[in-house]
Amino acid sequence: MSNNTSAWLLLIVSLPTTATSARMRIWRNLKACGCAALRDGAYLLPDSGDHQYVLRQLLDDAEREGGSGWLLPVAPKSAREILRLQALFDRSGDYQAFISSLEAARPGLASTAAPDLQRQLRKLRKEFDTLRSVDFFPNDASRRADAVWLDFVHLAETLLSPGEPQTADGTIPLRDLAEYQGRIWATRRGLWVDRVASAWLIKRFIDPDARFLWLATPADCPPHALGFDFDNASFTHVGERVSFEVLMASFGLEHDAGLRRLGAMVHALDVGGAFVAEAAGFEAMLSGARRRAKNDDQLLAEMSAVLDALHAHFSEHAAPDGD
């Protein structure tokens, strides 16, 4: 939402003192949609998205319970008034509380059983998504929380998926695409961000006839297979680049602006880095798909559609200079 919001909605609602359950229900709904309470019975929201519809539904609910109310437009008269209204929706304290909960949980992650760790991640992700859904004016606090959250998830996923490659020094030679057709490619099973994106990149841009092996351990990689995203694999982390970025460089794909932006997203999710707005959504979809998929083949098929869509989006919205 733009920081120069000039249209607002004010809900004034009154309920009979006997309508205790209705009062609590409506209050919970007002809180869930992020309303700022000006005083008892007066609630404010920016006029955007479906906020007008949501507040109208709450007003109708109050009237069905014997109450009364008004839904009124509010138009600030100056930039100063706009800033004062926006300040009512500052979520900095909520973000700091969430960051504190992550910092408190972090020391115990290594000793947490995998099923419990997955449940903890789901619970924290739900809390974070709920907070972001009512953050109408993101600021430095939200960006810091995004970075801390991505770092926390990376640590948790590393514990859930042991065998993450270590960064190696060296150069990335340019490969002849013709020599990498119809090959067998191998990586660790239980696909996560870099591996699923790399497998998609291989199938879409490098080797359309690729076949994949999902390894229990890197030691299971056959000599004839092209390994990726594990130590000593044919394609793995080099310098600051994750496996997806190494594959791009190896096959001369860095001219593709959409792939470059995808690479930035994968990098941020895999090892941290510059904030990428789409990263959290991709991570959430991958997490959900991994819980539903019966195996890594099914997971790759489902996430390939997501990556196709993201590539189209990134390509369409690429900067003129490709940055």
Predicted confidence (pLDDT) per residue in 85-133, tens digit: 999 999 999 999 999 999 999 999 989 887 888 889 889 988 998 999 9
pLDDT of 43 above 60 = yes
Please indicate, yes or no, whether residues 216 and 275 belong to a single structural domain of this protein.
yes
Q: What pLDDT is attached to residue 169?
A: 76
Q: For the sheet containing 226-227, what is the strand order?
A: 211-215, 184-188, 226-227
Report CA-CA distances (Å) from 34 to 58, 106, 189. Answer: 13, 29, 40
- Is residue 19's pLDDT more than 90? no
Asked if 285 contacts 303 with a C-beta cutoff of 8 angstroms, the reply is yes
Q: Are residues 265 and 143 in the same domain?
A: no
Phi, psi at 158, each rounded to 5°: -65, -40
User: What is the crossing angle of helices 296-316 and 279-292, to 10°?
Assistant: 160
1 pLDDT band, cuts 50/70/90, is very low
Q: Which domain holds residue 25?
A: 8-87
Q: Which of 87, 121, 138 is the last residue of a domain?
A: 87
Tokens matching residue 67: 């109450």
Is 2 contained in some domain? no
| Domain co-membership, 76 together with 97 | no
Mean pLDDT for 64-68 is 93
CA 118 to chain centre: 16
148 within a domain of the structure (yes/no): yes
Weakest mean pLDDT among 31-35, 139-143, 317-321 = 317-321
Q: Which of 40, 57, 87 is the last residue of a domain?
A: 87
